Amino acid sequence: MVLYAGTRLGTFRQLEILLTVYHFKTIKLASEKLHLTQPTVSMQLKKLANTVGMPLYDQIGKELVFTEAGKTIASAAENVLARMQQLDMDLSELRGIKSGTLKLSVVTTAKYFIPHLLGPFCKRYPNVDVELNVGNRQQIINRLDKGNDDFYVFSNVPSRQDIDAIDLLDNPLVAIAHENHPLADKKQLTLKDIQDEPFLMREKGSGTRFATEAFLEQREVKMNVKMTIESNMAIKHSVMSGMGIAILSAHTIAFGESAGIAILDVKDMPILSKWYFVRNKAKRLSPLAQAFLDYTEQEGKNALLKDLKLDGII
């Protein structure tokens, strides 16, 4: 389908592809995001360039540099696709049907429990589609800046005036070690007792690292950091392999593989933090997003707490 035959701007899909490439700056990352092959993305962009009669970008080394025509079309594409999303919201509201696409972006640790919140909601509203993006804290902040999602899930909310933060769930951070570690059976350990142990730390930009560093700095304790790891799962397996101790969200222990891991009994722990839904104040909630928020506050939180079963962990 041609958007507007008089000006020959291409198809909605071509504009979506162009905008994704424009944001990610590479065809490889854009193709992964769109679940398309790189040749398909390149072919659609070539068709769009032929349609408008001007090149959209230049390849300089490994970098794509957009031409003025490409930038202009990308800007227009953002407006057009945003308007179509708004139209979908308006029609859903008129139909009174909870349908459409719910868009969430969550930091990596939240991926362990968010599906347990989404599952019952999607079962109640089978016509709902979900787009779930997972990344580290900085990546989710970048998505927040673009404003493409309904909600963003953080444990460490960005300090800014253009957002609302809605209390979702407690996020206790616990110290873990291999179950046969000499400290595993000790009671009332202090931070001094564990500070010389090989410590596995989350990467910079992680909310878990931010909370851990603030906690340690407040108590004037410096850990013996031996490895920096970008994945909770990789940290858990490193702990299982006896490579050191770590501090992670208790939710990563409650969900997923945790055989061979012991929670250390450390004074002043767990570190108390929370999970929050964050939304952009300027973006109107769609009927679907409002329904999800209502469900979460009225039922989802309590159901999630039952699923977490943290009583035996902390």
Topology agreement, domain 12-82 and domain 97-170+274-312: no
Q: What is the pLDDT of residues 253-267, one digit of tens each?
A: 877 667 788 899 998
Average pLDDT score over residue span 89-101: 65
CATH architecture of 97-170+274-312: 3-Layer(aba) Sandwich (3.40)
Report the range of poorest mean pLDDT among 70-84, 85-99, 207-221, 277-291.
Answer: 85-99
Reply yes or no on whether the pLDDT at 3 is more than 60: no
How far are the Cα atoms of 221, 224, 226, 232, 245 from residue 196, in angstroms, in the given order? Answer: 10, 5, 10, 22, 10
Q: What is the pLDDT of residues 202-232, one digit of tens each?
A: 888 788 888 899 999 998 989 999 889 888 8
At 44, which helix (H) or strand (E)? helix 38-52
Q: What is the pLDDT of residues 32-53, one digit of tens each?
A: 888 888 889 889 888 888 888 8
Query: Could you tell me the pTM of the whole model?
Result: 0.63
Residue spans of the domains in the chain: they are 12-82, 97-170+274-312, 173-263
What is the CATH T-level fold of the domain 12-82, as seen in this structure?
Arc Repressor Mutant, subunit A (1.10.10)
- Quick one: 173-263 is in which CATH superfamily? Periplasmic binding protein-like II (3.40.190.10)
Average pLDDT score over residue span 151-170: 88
With a pLDDT cut of 90, the percent of the chain lying above it is 17
Task: Strand 151-154: give its sheet, edge to edge.
Answer: 128-135, 100-107, 151-154, 274-280, 163-170
Q: Which two tokens stand for residue 33?
A: 């995001």
pLDDT for position 257: 67
Question: Which residue type sits at 123?
Answer: K
pLDDT for position 2: 43
Separation CA 9–CA 49 (nearest Å): 9
Residue 251's pLDDT band, with cuts at 50, 70 and 90, is confident
Tokens 């490994």 locate to: 62
Reply yes or no on whether the pLDDT at 199 is more than 90: yes
At 71, which helix (H) or strand (E)? helix 68-95
In this structure, are residues 217 and 278 in contact, taking their beta carbons and an 8 Å threshold?
no
Separation CA 135–CA 51 (nearest Å): 36
